[in-house]
């Protein structure tokens, strides 16, 4: 399994043609206490860069963008009752949705962990 990161602070962990998507620890920290998450519907197709979810925190509401295109195959139903799970475990149990990847070419332009760490260090 390989994890990639976007400049919009989403991560995607890829295993074959399936990706698991969430927001990074950096993003959840910037947002503060998360109080609501709107995830996409299972069966919906999205293209890379499409708005796919919304996160509301005590500070602001933020759009989440699809780091690559595909069909949503599952959502993390635990987030409905416990959105703060993203604050506690953003890059593990706080995932948002799973996607059947339509084209692996969408992975181009995403960063690996080292590049993302460098990218976020430049933002502070």
Tell me if the domain spanning 2-103 has CATH number 2.40.50.100.
yes
Length of the chain: 124
Which pLDDT band, with edges at 50, 70 and 90, does 91 fall under? very high
Q: How big is the chain by its Cα radius of gyration, in Å?
A: 13
How far, in Å, CA of 97 to CA of 94, rounded? 10
Q: Which residue has the tokens 């399994």?
A: 1
**Nearest C-alpha neighbor of 90 from the set 100, 104, 101, 79:** 79
Alpha helices, H only, the chain: 25-31, 78-81, 85-89, 113-121
Residue 81: exposure state from Cβ atoms within 10 A (0-12, 13-18, ≥19): exposed
Question: How far, in Å, CA of 63 to CA of 88, rounded?
Answer: 20
Q: Which two tokens stand for residue 117?
A: 């760490």
Q: Is the pLDDT of residue 105 over 90?
A: no
> Does the structure show a pLDDT above 90 at 26?
yes
Check residue 1 and give its pLDDT: 83
Average pLDDT, the chain: 95
Q: Confidence band (pLDDT; 50, 70, 90) for 124?
A: confident
What sign results for the dihedral spanned by CA atoms 105, 5, 17, 80?
negative
Strand partners, 12: 4, 21
């Amino acid at each position: 399994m390989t994890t990639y990161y976007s400049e919009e602070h989403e991560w995607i962990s890829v295993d074959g043609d399936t990706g698991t998507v969430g927001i990074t620890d950096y993003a959840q920290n910037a947002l503060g206490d998360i109080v609501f998450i709107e995830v996409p519907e299972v069966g919906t197709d999205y293209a890379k860069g499409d708005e796919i979810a919304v996160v509301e925190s005590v500070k602001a509401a933020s759009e989440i963008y699809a780091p690559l295109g595909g069909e949503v195959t599952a959502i993390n139903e635990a987030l409905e009752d416990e959105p703060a799970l993203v604050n506690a475990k953003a890059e593990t149990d706080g995932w948002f949705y799973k996607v059947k990847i339509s084209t692996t070419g969408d992975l181009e332009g995403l960063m690996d962990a080292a590049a993302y760490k460098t990218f976020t260090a430049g933002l502070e």
